[in-house]
A and B are shown apart, each in its own frame.
Chain A
Amino acid sequence: MSKTSYAVGEHPDLEPPASTIGVIGWLRENLFSNWWNSLLTLFGFYLIYLYLPPLVEWMFVKAVWSSPDRVPCDAEGAGACWAFIDNRFTQFMYGFYPKELYWRPNTAGLLLIALMIPLFIKSFRWKWQLGAFILLVYPFIAFVLIHGGYLGFELVETNKWGGLMLTLILSAVGIVASLPIGIVLALGRRSTMPIVKSVCVVYIEFWRGVPLITVLFMSSVMLPLFFPEGTDFDKLARAMIGIIMFQSAYMAEVVRGGLQAIPKGQYEAAASLGLTYWKSMGLIILPQALKLVIPGIVNTFIALFKDTTLVLIIGLFDLLAIIQQANSDPEWLGFDTEGYVFAGLIFWIFCFSMSRYSIALEQKLHTGHKR
């Protein structure tokens, strides 16, 4: 070697080899990197060729989008009968809620959206206060609006509630209540106080051990036996309590996973500054632990959202139940597929949004301490 020192720029930047960039490069890298991969790719294309065109044809090209009756859907070669969905749409959304009062749940929904918007604005200064308002005051407003019976609003019994509205109410209540209860249970399970600890362990293990369907069934059949004759405890409220009990046990374990991942030094640093137990949990430990388990929390939320469909066994008409009921309408027999595709699509949209939001939240909360 004759030279051991080089001036900057003595090695100019060269173009990367053509085979590693551009469309060709990407194809070669990802789809045809070896003969086995190429074979799989070709097979995949073949499957798409086989199934995609008929699916598109059924769903879009030959579909019947609207019609007052089923006649066009029964025509030779007709595709999906979205007219069925179209005819029943308001019922799928609101259940048996009186038509002339749809504005009430609509107002409640729009109010919630309007209240939430400022939470996403960076410069908004009253986030804590607004959040507390949404959690503590809004539920009463929503209840008065949707349920009525107060302030001159006509009463609409919960057995008339249904469809997507009921699904959203059940899951919103479940989500909002199960997270804080789950957090308290998780802290309790890690407590050094033996009584607190065993109560939490028993609770968690009990509720995790029974299937939700049993919980719901028990809440509607068994629970009334324990109340004095004649006390009528609302069926929906019982289902809600069942769901909350059940999901908070799962949530507790997710949160506990996060708590366990926080290094001991964080607890010690917080304690050595004189923070009380609740303050060090609230300000130091939980913010970090919850951030770590966002994927697990959202996973539980998504499971909860889909599990609300089980309320159909106790005679509540959530989105899926009301679609099933419509499927058996003699006027529209034979369009189950459309009904289930529609239900699947709605559920997927909500679950997928939650999942995307969780990813966005994780990125936003990332403060670069993991390097």
Chain B
Amino acid sequence: MSDNDYIIEMIDVHKWYGSFHVLKDINLKVKKGERIVICGPSGSGKSTMIRCINHLEEHQRGKIVVDGIELTEDIKQIEAIRREVGMVFQHFNLFPHLTILENLTLAPIWVKKMPRAEAEEIAMKYLERVKIPEQRDKYPGQLSGGQQQRVAIARSLCMMPKVMLFDEPTSALDPEMISEVLDVMVELAEEGMTMLCVTHEMGFAKKVADRVIFMDAGQIIEENEPEEFFSNPQNERTQLFLSQIIND
């Protein structure tokens, strides 16, 4: 298989916070169009790992290559990678001083130098896809959590990224809003978007994931197809974790 088939390669990645070894020997290769769900106990390094991919966190050893560009100290490379990689956060992180439409058009206009009219057209297309075009002139503070998260997804999509990273996109939401966000994510997955998703929504994992990755104490402990992963977990830690989240 040629290198170009991988859109993300993490090779022997290590990271420390001070003397705390938070990521240990992470090896992960993601093919174009692959959908990966990452789970694991709290503090196991899931967020840290996916945040290394767009350099919100810096790794100290090993190599990360995104879409053929290696992540180095070079800020130009980092910005180039960030243009290709969208990210959705647990707490939405919409820009509260801008309207929904402005939230969506900001990056296309200022990063991609797109004319405003075109950016607005694209923004409306994605707002319709996440099913809230009528909210365009409101401010984030006037929307429900589920609506805000859908706007955040649309905001990332407006940059037409090649990869989407999700860091627990539904865990700050009330139960009745979780499904509206998951529906959008399922649709996105079905359209062939490459996705890395940290989530404990096992229904979502079973439905769309090509692979499920289990992390514990900074390491990737187990990696499998969802069916196998859930029905026949190999590792003791995985079994314990699965029994816990299925119990509640």
Binding site for B on A (CB under 8 A): 263, 265-266, 268-276, 279, 283-284, 287-288, 291, 365, 367-371
Contact = CB atoms under 8 A, between A and B. Distances in A.
A368 B139 CA distance: 7
B146 interface: no
Interface in B22-77: 54, 56, 75
Contacts of B91: 265
B141 interface: yes
21 contacts: A265-B89, A268-B87, A269-B87, A269-B93, A271-B56, A272-B86, A272-B87, A273-B82, A273-B111, A274-B79, A274-B80, A284-B95, A284-B106, A288-B97, A291-B97, A365-B97, A367-B96, A367-B141, A369-B139, A369-B141, A370-B141
B89 A368 contact: no
Contacts of B89: 265, 268-269
Given A274-B159, A368-B142, A269 B95 contact: yes
B83 interface: yes
Given A266-B93, A269-B95, A276-B79, A283 B56 contact: no
A279 B110 contact: yes
Nearest to A291: B97
A272 B110 contact: no
B209 to A, nearest CB: 23
The DSSP consensus for interface residues of chain A is helix
A288 B159 contact: no
A268 B106 CA distance: 15
Nearest to A284: B95
Contacts of B96: 288, 367, 369
A154 to B, nearest CB: 48
Interface of B: 54, 56, 75, 79-80, 82-83, 85-87, 89, 91, 93-97, 106-107, 110-111, 139-142, 155-156, 159
A316 B124 CA distance: 59
Contacts of A367: 96-97, 139, 141
B1 to A, nearest CB: 29
Contacts of B85: 272
B219 to A, nearest CB: 25
B91 to A, nearest CB: 6
Contact of A273 (B106, B139, B140): B106
Given A265-B91, A269-B94, A369-B139, 19 more contacts: A263-B93, A268-B87, A268-B89, A272-B82, A272-B87, A274-B83, A274-B159, A275-B107, A276-B75, A276-B79, A284-B106, A287-B97, A288-B95, A288-B97, A367-B96, A368-B139, A368-B142, A369-B96, A371-B141
A268 B86 CA distance: 12
Most chain B beta-carbon contacts within 10 A, residue among A271, A279, A371 = A271
Contacts of A371: 141
Contacts of A274: 79-80, 82-83, 107, 111, 159
Given A276-B79, A367-B141, A369-B139, A266 B95 contact: yes
Contacts of B110: 275, 279, 283
A368 to B, nearest CB: 5
A361 B96 CA distance: 17
Contacts of A370: 141
A120 B224 CA distance: 61
A276 to B, nearest CB: 6
A287 B106 CA distance: 14
A273 B91 CA distance: 16
A199 B24 CA distance: 38
A283 B106 contact: yes
Nearest to B141: A369
Nearest to B106: A283
Contacts of B97: 287-288, 291, 365, 367, 369
